[in-house]
Chains A and B, each alone.
Chain A
Amino acid sequence: MRRMKKMRGAYIGEASVRRTAMLMIAPAMVIILGMNVYPLLYNVGLSFFWYNLLDTAKNGFAGVRQFVEVFTNKGFGNSLLITGYFAVVSLVVQTVLGTLIALLLNMEFKGRGFVRAIVLLPWAVPSMVNAAIWGWILNANYGLLNRVLLQWGVIKEIVVWMATAFSALNMIILADTWRMLPLTVLLLLAALQTLDASTIEAGIVDGANAFQRFWHIKLPLMKPLLLVLLIMRTTQTIKVFDIIFMMTGGGPGNGTMAISFYTYYAIFKNLNYGTGATLSVAISVIILLIAVLYLKVLHTDDPS
C-alpha cells in the first residue's frame, strides 16, 4: 500500500516539485524582487525625469536630455578617470604582489603555518577601521609615517600626504591594497596548492628554471582563477566608498571623487535624485557588462 502511494507520488512529481521549489524560493524572491529588481527598474524610469529637490523649477519629463547632461558633465568624466586609475593601479599592484607573495608562501620555510595564518588578518579589519588606521598613520602632524621618516632622516620636514589630489588618491590605494591584498594572496595560494605536482615535476625534469616553470606551467593553469579574481576585484573597485568617505571626503578639489562617491554626493549633498538615478543606471550597465564577461569566462575556461 505504502509503496503504491510512493509510486503515485513519483508520477505526479512534476507539479508538486515545482510547488515545493516555489515555496522554498519565495522568501528570497520577495526580497530580491522588491528591494533589488524593483529599485533597478525604478531608477531606469526616474532617469528620464528631472528631479532635483533644491531646484524644483525644472522638475518634470526630461527624456534622454538628463543622460546627455549627466554624461557631458565634467564631474562625471573626472569620476570615471579616478575610478579607472584606482582600478588599474590597484589591480596591477595587487595581482603582481599577490602572485609573488602566493609563490613565496608556497615555498618551504620555518614558520610557514604562522605566516599563512596571519596573512589574512588585514582583510578582517573592517573597512572603516582600515581607513581610520591609515588616516592615523598618514596624519601629517602626529602620524607614524612622518615621525619614523623624520627620525631616520629620510625627510627634513613633515609631508602632508593628503595635500594633493594625486597623492591622496595613491594613499587611498595604499590603504585599500593593505586590506584587500590578502584575498588575492590566499585565492592564488589555494590555486597553487591544487596544481598537479606531476606536471610541475615534469617541468623540472625537462630542465626548466623556476621562472620558466612559473611562466609556462603554473601561470597558464592559474589563468581561469586569475580572470575570475580580476573581474571580482574590478567590481569591488567600482564599489569603493567607505575609505574615500573616511579619509578624504572626495577631496582635495574633487580629486578622489570615485564613481560611487560621486553618485552618493549627487544624491545626498546636491539632493538631485534625477542625476542620482541616471548615474545609478550608468553604474548598473557597467556592472551588467562585467557580469556578462564573467559568465563568458566561467563557461569557456574550465580550470580542470
Chain B
Amino acid sequence: MRQSAGRRFIKGVGIYIAVLLLVCWTLIPILWMAYSSVVDKAELLNSGPLALPKNLTFERYEQIFDSFAKVLSGGRISSKSEVFSRALINSVMVTLSTTALALFIGGMAAYAFARLAFKGKQFMLMLAMFIQLLPTVALIVPLYQMVKASGLIDKLPVLVVLYLSNVLAYTIWVFNGYYQSIPRDLESAARIDGCTHFDAFVRVVIPLAKPGFVAVGSLVFLMCWDELLYAMVFMNSKSTKTFTVAMSEFSDKFAGMDYPLLMTGGVLVTIIPMMLALFFQRHIVMGLTAGGVKS
C-alpha cells in the first residue's frame, strides 16, 4: 500500500515512541534494583526528590562476599548476609543437581514414551500433563507428613527429590513432544548396527536433541531456582535454607524489609537466570511451546 511521506513519518515516530515506552517499562525496575544495590543506605532511605547519588558504595556486596568466605571456611552462620551466602550456595547445589537428574531421568523416560510401544502409555502421558499443571501447594499436606515421619526435614538431598517430583512430569511431557520432531532414520540405522534402544538413546538421540536439552534444562533450572514453598516448608535451619527463603526474611525496622540488602542479593541471584535468558532465548521459547502445540 502506498503511503504519503507525512503519514509514513508519523507512523515511524509512533513506532519509536512505543518502543521507547516498552524499553523503559522493561528496564526501569531492573535498573532501580541495580541502583539500590550500590547507593549508600542513608541516601536510599530518603523520601526527598530523586537526585544523582552522592555516595556509591559496594559495602553490601563486600559484606556478602566476606560472608561467602566465612561460610565456606565453616564459620558459624548468624548474620543476614551469612544466611544469604549459605543459602545461595545451597540453591546452586540443589538446582544444578535437580536439573541434571531431571534431564537424565525425564529425557530417558520420554524417549520410551516417544519411541517404544507399551501398555498404558497414553494414560501415563495424560497423567504427566495433568500433574505438571498442579500447583505445589495441592500436594504439600501428604508430602509434609511423609518427610516429617521419615525424619528427613532439613536434609538438602530431600529438597532435590521434592524438586524432581515437581519438574519430572513437565520434563517428560515436553521431551515427548520434542522427540516426535526428530527424524527416526539415524536411530534405526544405529539399531540395525546392533545398538540396544538404550545405546541408541545415549549415542544418537541425546546429541541430536541438544537444543531440546538446552531448552528444558534452562526451564527446569529456572523453576527450581525460583522455588519458595517447598524450601520454606521442608528446610528450617539456617544452614539449609535456599536464597528464596533467606530473602523473604530480610526484615528491617525502617522500611519493613531491608530493601538495600534485598536489592544487592537480588542482583546476585538474577545474574545467572538473565544469562540463560539472553543466551538461550530461542531455545526457551521452543521449550515453552514444544508439547504444548502440535507442530
Chain A residues in the interface with B (C-beta under 8 A) = 6, 17-18, 20-25, 27-29, 31-32, 34-40, 42-43, 46, 101, 104, 107, 109, 111, 115, 117-129, 132-137, 139, 141-142, 144, 146-148, 150-151, 158, 178, 182-183, 186-187, 190, 204, 207, 209, 224-225, 228, 232, 235, 238-239, 241-242, 245-246, 260, 263-264, 267-268, 273, 276-277, 280, 283-284, 287-288, 290-291, 294-295, 298, 302-303
Contact = CB atoms under 8 A, between A and B. Distances in A.
B111 A24 contact: yes
Given A29-B109, A136-B36, A280-B137, 13 more contacts: A18-B117, A21-B112, A23-B198, A24-B109, A25-B112, A43-B141, A107-B15, A118-B27, A121-B30, A187-B289, A276-B141, A284-B134, A303-B294
23 contacts: A18-B116, A20-B198, A21-B118, A35-B165, A36-B134, A39-B139, A104-B22, A117-B278, A121-B274, A122-B26, A129-B266, A132-B263, A133-B33, A136-B36, A224-B293, A264-B140, A267-B144, A273-B145, A277-B142, A284-B138, A287-B135, A291-B130, A303-B294
A11 to B, nearest CB: 14
B285 A186 contact: yes
B226 interface: yes
A291 B172 contact: no
Interface residues of B, number: 101
A148 B50 contact: yes
Nearest to B276: A124
Contacts of B222: 124
Interface in B181-239: 192, 194, 196-198, 201, 222, 225-226, 228-229, 233
A39 B134 CA distance: 12
Q: What are the nearest 5 A-B pairs in CB distance?
A: A35-B165, A124-B277, A39-B142, A28-B109, A24-B112
A187 B133 contact: no
B5 interface: no
B169 A36 contact: yes
Contact of A101 (B22, B29, B194, B276): B22
A137 B281 CA distance: 27
Contact of A142 (B22, B45, B142): B45
Interface string B157-173: 00001101100110010
A73 B293 CA distance: 39
A24 B197 contact: yes
B105 interface: yes
Contacts of A239: 135-137
B33 A115 contact: no
B129 A115 contact: no
A273 B124 CA distance: 29
Nearest to B32: A144
Contacts of B165: 31-32, 34-36
A17 B197 contact: yes
A137 B257 CA distance: 12
Contact of A225 (B118, B281, B293): B293
B44 interface: yes
Given A21-B116, A101-B22, A128-B226, A139 B142 contact: no
A240 to B, nearest CB: 9
Contact of B126 (A190, A290, A295): A295
B77 interface: no
Given A20-B197, A21-B112, A127 B294 contact: no
Given A27-B105, A132-B247, A295-B129, A267 B26 contact: no
B22 A241 contact: no
B16 to A, nearest CB: 7
A117 B143 CA distance: 40
Nearest to A125: B270
Given A127-B228, A151-B50, A183-B288, A136 B263 contact: yes
A287 B130 contact: yes
Contacts of A148: 50
B288 A147 contact: no
A125 B289 CA distance: 21
Contacts of A303: 293-295
Contact of A17 (B27, B106, B116): B116
